[in-house]
Structure 1
């Protein structure tokens, strides 16, 4: 073992010895403090009862005197030693007058609307939020109760709107239409507002096949639905145009009973505010005659586009 290792071992031994001495000193100090605390909390009355009585009794004492002295020493110390406190005696009359705390808690938030004491009706009072001014504007503050009421009102209105839409879709309307092959062949059909253009063409084709041989091999995809000089796609419903009050080039798209007749003359003045019958046209006929009036005026329907009558445009076709 080297000289450095020997010195390190001696240093560690001395440090442990100092730690042991400090531990013994702390242990002795704690014991002394415990003794002092115990002495402080010892009852003075018990010490007096144990030490004073023998000093007062000196010599021969009669038994009666000994009992009297013992009684005098123990009587005043009983309450101090035991810590007992005599409870005041409450008369039965005072107990009746004493209010019951439980009942007062129950009736704390109640209002009585009856003057008679025998029959009282209590109504609970709704507590407001703590610290909230009832006159202050709190509409900008998030409120769970208010948001719940708004959500319920929205659901109710949405349900009413859906029921109203469903009711309107089931209503029947009269649709005036004609098969257009250069001349008019007018007919009428009653359908529901919720029908699509494709459903209407399917029913109309079943009727027209009996009169026109060229329509026997045709199907719905081979037909065009033309209303107010606009070619309407097949997926639209009649309710779509009725609800939006859409206008076409020569009249309203939402009126299908055709107040006006088929326009046979190139006179734009005859198209003012009147609805015209729907034209059912074969696509093959349109491709052959789209440069000839009236097919030359037809164009594809564009949603939300505003179609205005232009008399100069109509007269330029003459």
Structure 2
């Protein structure tokens, strides 16, 4: 009879422990749902699902034999806190990695802007140099102008020299028998002017004679005389 009572007591105790284990399991599920509702991040569901699966697995492996509900809750709390610390650490590492990537992109973008600015400045300098070269080419005198200026300079140098030679002649010495280019040109010029003057005078005389004959013809016709009666 005593043996029967001992067996019944053990069975009752086992039933109580099973109920406590079920209550602990329900507590884990409740905390899991509560954290999921607080986070409200659809993209993180899989991560936190695996997180709580890992907590539950660790809780099962670390709980050997029959334990009280308080012991179960204490172990569960420790495991959850450690797991949350690990997740927070991973999140911080991920944030640092993203920040490093963003910083690298900003540095690369800044470098590209600097290169573009440097290239633009170089192109502007090249254009200014080309414009300066074109202005120098346009402002430079052409070979024809240089030749004309050189010829004019030579003539201007020759004329004072010729005047100087003429000025050095002695006026008391007769040099008419010597060849003189300037004197010959002046004489030829005077002859041409005289010839043109004589031509104009002769032309005027012919015109005057013809006019006089024409006037006499008109006068004779009006007076009834013939042209033969006038000498």
Alignment TM-score, normalising by the size of structure 1: 0.22
Report the structure, 1 or 2, having the larger helix content. Answer: 2
Query: Over alpha carbons, which structure has the higher Rg?
Result: 2
Report the structure, 1 or 2, having the larger strand content. Answer: 1
Alignment TM-score, normalising by the size of structure 2: 0.28
